[in-house]
Structure 1
């Protein structure tokens, strides 16, 4: 079993890596991330100019093509410097485009995918309920009621990242108030973000600050039938295929962050001097580096394995959950060790270690908490359901 990249994939990785180093350097990412009030349009414009929003979107719809492995390669390379700002690319090119490609009609694909591939349409995902967190379905209080020519949407969502600058909001709502099971009776709406009745307010947070996560309220928002993805009432089943891809992208982001942590830690250890020489000679710091490098390799092998399984159409739900759990915990631990290695400078906003820690700490809780991931893994091993 060979998980080495092909020549084409290596060439793509090298091109992206050179572009990231030239256009998305870490000092620029620090500057943009620190400004919580303003969305980093500069990153968006650079991605658009290079055509990278087309990664993973079929050439038939104006994209660059490529499977989940190509998206994984891009996400890893970008996250090495950008950290959580990766989602300037990911929300649209991965989140929005993937959902439309899976659940959308041919007319919807023709209407939206070329615009996303060109970087002309910005997408935000509006799923989490204020009282729900991980329990998205059980806490669903956002409703879409059928009206003439479309649906009337009412409710509220939390952590809708990029909502203030979005062109479209992918909203999951309940359309059957009498559904017997909580995963039944759901509808996916690709809502025009400028529709009357939508209001968004910024949620200050620890990391990924410039991405602008929002609480969004929907009050009698009219959504035409033509903006419904898939069949009303069956949205959850239509969205499930995207969950493994989401976990793969989280794994790729975390691996990219570990890459960035390791290169910064090594550079610092070879330059910083104390007690008569560089601190890279200290055994305990060498052990920290060995731990980071090992977590990098473990995450890489698991990521490549799951991406390979997904691209070959193999069942990989449990494996994708394992990847999400391991990658997020490895990234946070690596960044924490990086801060320890750099001491006060690791804690300083003038360096990136603290940013890597802040940006990836949230991923231990989202899009599903690692505690719930462990529950799912145990259940798939034959143990009784714990919730």
Structure 2
């Protein structure tokens, strides 16, 4: 496993966090061995998720204010990136699970108290069900109205791309209540169904299904507050790391191929066009890492520039992952399309990041509008 960029974050955190990063690097090396198999079967690797929990990552990532250790953003980013380098589907499910579990622990703290924090620490599985079929990028501003009933509200609608939904004990769901966003914990029951549409291009082992709600109860006692700026932003912080981890793996795979394939009596790595293209890819990856690291440092310092810089980091990380993995296909040639080659899987996986909210097109509008001063765009 390539640990250069991850090593920079590792060297900047305390011994406890360094130990967690080292543990995850070791686990990710094992995850990589089965990633292709689970991708081909479009099957969630539950054992990977169990291994992360058993290694103490659940307690580590839960903020101290709700009973956990409270990882720094820099350590969290390094951990997600290491997992993604080994198996990006596992990284995606774990990031979404963390976002939902930590989110419910924080959002319901004044109501249910420590219940969801305790459930998270006990190893229950959480999934993030916020994106709607028609407005995926506006995931914090739901357009589906919940209807009032005794004990709460009901939701009739759907959420899409819910990673790990089929194994979740709890779903973090939002809906519009009295015209405003409201957040709830939902325990899947007969009113919740998973639509079997998952036969996708990349990140197949996330099984990010469409989830249908047929007048599902949104219980008043399981309602939380709206997310705030001081909450741990697990999902926004994780998304650039997933793409960067895929780019790391794609770069390592193309380097291995270029070194091992001979053309006209010399390794492919000796060809000038390959050297020039790899130089461009490595420099862009380094730049994306630097921008992401800047955003995480700002987050740890409680600097509000964290959020706009995370937008920039995600935008660049998504594009770099696609470019690096695409270069792998060029260098790999016909053999890169074979199932036995990791090159094709990295290229497929890289496409997903730029579609996850906010998509690169939406981010380009947000960033460009800010730079040009033509008006504040919805976040």
Take 1:80 and 1:350, find their aligned partners in 2: how far apart are those partners?
Answer: 18
Which residue matches 2:337? 347
CA RMSD of aligned residues (A): 2.5
Take 1:364 and 1:280, find their aligned partners in 2: how far apart are those partners?
Answer: 29
User: How far is the alpha carbon of 1:309 from its aligned partner?
Assistant: 0.3
Which residue matches 2:3? none
CA contact (8 A) 1:56 1:68 kept: no
Which residue matches 1:117? 121
SS at match of 2:112: helix
User: How far is the alpha carbon of 1:216 from its aligned partner?
Assistant: 1.7
Structure 1: 5+ residue stretches without partners? 180-184
TM-score, length of structure 1 as denominator length: 0.86
Which residue matches 2:322? 332
How do 1:15-54 and structure 2 match up within 5 A?
15-21=23-29, 23-24=30-31, 26-36=32-42, 38-54=43-59
Take 1:171 and 1:78, find their aligned partners in 2: how far apart are those partners?
Answer: 26
**2:221 pairs with one of 223, 226, 243:** 226
Residue 15 (structure 2) pairs with residue 13 (structure 1): no
How do 1:90-169 and structure 2 match up within 5 A?
90-93=95-98, 95-106=99-110, 108-119=112-123, 121-136=124-139, 140=143, 142-169=144-171
Take 1:128 and 1:138, find their aligned partners in 2: how far apart are those partners?
Answer: 9
SS at match of 2:202: coil
User: How far is the alpha carbon of 1:289 from its aligned partner?
Assistant: 1.7
User: How far is the alpha carbon of 1:298 from its aligned partner?
Assistant: 0.7
Q: Which stretch of the first structure deviates more once superposed, 377-386 or 142-151?
A: 377-386
CA contact (8 A) 1:125 1:170 kept: yes
**2:273 pairs with one of 256, 269, 284:** 284
Take 1:30 and 1:268, find their aligned partners in 2: how far apart are those partners?
Answer: 17
Residue 190 (structure 2) pairs with residue 196 (structure 1): yes
CA contact (8 A) 2:193 2:212 kept: yes
**1:263 pairs with one of 252, 259, 264:** 252
Structure 2: 5+ residue stretches without partners? 1-7
Cα distance change on mapping 1:72 and 1:109 into 2, 3 Å:
farther
Deviations 1:7-64 (A, max 9, x none): 535454333212322x31x23111112112x322222222232222333213575644
Take 2:103 and 2:96, find their aligned partners in 1: how far apart are those partners?
Answer: 11
Residue 350 (structure 2) pairs with residue 360 (structure 1): yes
CA contact (8 A) 2:92 2:242 kept: no
Take 1:130 and 1:63, find their aligned partners in 2: how far apart are those partners?
Answer: 34
Deviations 1:141-190 (A, max 9, x none): x22223222222222222222222211111110112xx3xxxxx111111
Which residue matches 2:292? 303
CA contact (8 A) 2:184 2:219 kept: no
Deviations 1:73-103 (A, max 9, x none): 110111111123312311212x113312442
Residue 60 (structure 2) pairs with residue 55 (structure 1): yes
Query: Alignment length, in residue pairs?
Result: 366
SS at match of 1:336: helix
Deviations 1:215-258 (A, max 9, x none): 2221221232221111xxxx3xx266669643321111122122
SS at match of 1:115: helix
Which residue matches 2:369? 379
SS at match of 1:108: coil
